Amino acid sequence: MSNPTGLDSDLLLRAISLADRCPPSATAFAVGSLIATADGRVIGQGWSRKGNPHEHAEEAALADVSAEDRALLSEATIYTSLEPCSTRASRPVTCTQHILDEGIPRIVYAWREPSIFVDCIGAETLEAAGREVIEIADLADMARKPNLHLFDPHNPA
């Protein structure tokens, strides 16, 4: 596993801040994601439930990439506040599979997905497929913040 750069931390903080745009949900995480080129140019961004109630942040970020920038995905990094899902109840294709299918070689995330809804092995699956996966655990508390209601039954979304 590689070490994150200062640019990685900055872009991950931007992705984490996108989670604040998520419509509240008692049955799904609030996640922010963005996709950037090696020089830090953001080519796509999204958040959970941006377009519909079942959309994940990584899907929204991928959908935001323009047709002319799609070729850049093979050298891009996807930043996401939560580990990309490897199992999901709402749709047949996981975010991990979308990342693999799009050929994104590098994934940076803050918070390993807790097993509230599903057991997640996104990071392990991506690494096994030869992708570079970087966890910046120092930012996990910030990524957890818009999701605290999921851990407190007295504070519903």
pLDDT in tens, 33-92: 999 999 999 999 999 999 999 999 999 999 999 999 999 999 999 999 999 988 877 778
Hey, what amino acid is at 62? L
Which residue segments constitute the domains of the chain, with CATH numbers given?
Answer: 6-150 (3.40.140.10)
In sequence order, the 6+-apart residues with CB closer than 8 A to the CB of 6 are none
Look at residue 1 and tell me whether its pLDDT is greater than 70: no
Q: Are 123 and 135 in contact (CB under 8 A)?
A: yes
Mean pLDDT of 97-126: 86
Phi/psi at 53 (5° precision): -65, -15
pLDDT of residue 66: 98
pTM listed for this prediction: 0.92
For residue 28, what pLDDT is reported?
87
Of the residues 55, 58, 59, 113, which is catalytic?
Answer: 58
Q: Identify the pLDDT of residue 120.
A: 72
Element (H or E) spanning 77, and its range?
Answer: strand 77-82
Q: Please indicate whether residue 124 is annotated as part of the active site.
A: no
pLDDT band at 13 (very low <50, low <70, confident <90, very high): very high
Using a pLDDT cut of 70, give the percent of the chain over it: 93
Q: Which secondary-structure segment (H or E) carries 133?
A: strand 132-135
DSSP codes of every residue in 34-46: EEE-TT--EEEEE
pLDDT at residue 153 in the model: 61
